Amino acid sequence: MGEIFSPGKLMLTSEYFAMDGALVLAVPTRLGQEFSFEEIPDGKFLIIWEAFHQEKPWLRVVIDYRSWQIIETNISSSAEFIVRTLKNVQALSSIKFKHNFTYHLKTNLQFPADYGLGSSSTLMNNLAEWAEIDPFHLNKISLGGSGYDIAVAKEKSAVLYQSVPEIRYEKVNFDPSFKDELIFIHLNQKQDSREGISLYRSKINLKNSLTNFRILQEIFYYVTNWKIFHA
């Protein structure tokens, strides 16, 4: 039995412009996703997947990973996503799903799923750490996106992140003197990412927008005076 934890994330600058190379400032949250695993050499080729949301049962899937058939589940659409993701893990990993073991895998999302704090990115990073594979690659082929949230989950730190022309990031100490004045407000308006990307692509003025977001990011990171920051 083993355990892995990845923190959630808050993107402070750039939003969808991150996909086109805007510099992102993102910070980790205290809450994240827990992942526990047990590998049983019983010759059964099974995955027993149990997902909890804030300690409450949400999804159960039993999978035969020789054929990748779902034997049992309570939510078909979510189970299919888990199968696709774990097949990607198998393809990338040299150590997981290669033997006739039963894998009992359990996740617990500590924050509400509709908060948008990284339910998927924390899962990708936990699986990648467990399987000893590249979390950015797993995320790219399983979900897409810029990958900034993977950097936060992997480093468990605030980061400055850029995805174009290639992924590069650095851990930073974002600790402004006015941090106690910053408040996270959940508007209960979580958007579908695919729809948001489509809308972004239809309205983008890339050159001017990237310049504006670069200026905004520098204000967020370097300004230490609350009145200037708030203005």
What is the tens place of the pLDDT at every residue in 38-54? 999 999 999 999 999 99
User: Which amino acid type is present at position 12?
Assistant: L
Question: From start to end of the chain, where are the E strands?
Answer: 2-11, 24-40, 46-53, 56-64, 69-73, 102-109, 158-162, 168-172
Residue range(s) defining the domain that contains residue 157: 2-230
Residue 74 pLDDT > 80: yes
Residue pair 52/36 in contact (Cβ under 8 Å)? The answer is no
CATH number at residue 33: 3.30.230.10
Residue 119 pLDDT > 80: yes
Residue 70: predicted pLDDT: 98
Residue corresponding to tokens 């893990």: 89
Residue 45: predicted pLDDT: 97
Distance CA 215, CA 42 (A): 57
Cβ neighbours, 10 Å, residue 38? 13
Q: Is the entire prediction scored with pTM above 0.85?
A: yes
Residue 182: predicted pLDDT: 78
DSSP-assigned letter for residue 191: P
- If pLDDT is split at 50, 70 and 90, which confidence band does 96 have? very high
For 160-189, write each residue's pLDDT tens digit: 999 888 999 999 998 877 778 778 788 877
Residue pair 132/95 in contact (Cβ under 8 Å)? The answer is yes
End-to-end alpha carbon distance in the chain:
50
Residue 101: predicted pLDDT: 96
Per the prediction, the chain carries an average pLDDT of: 88
Tally of domains in the chain: 1
Percentage of the chain beyond pLDDT 70 is 84
User: Which amino acid type is present at position 134?
Assistant: D
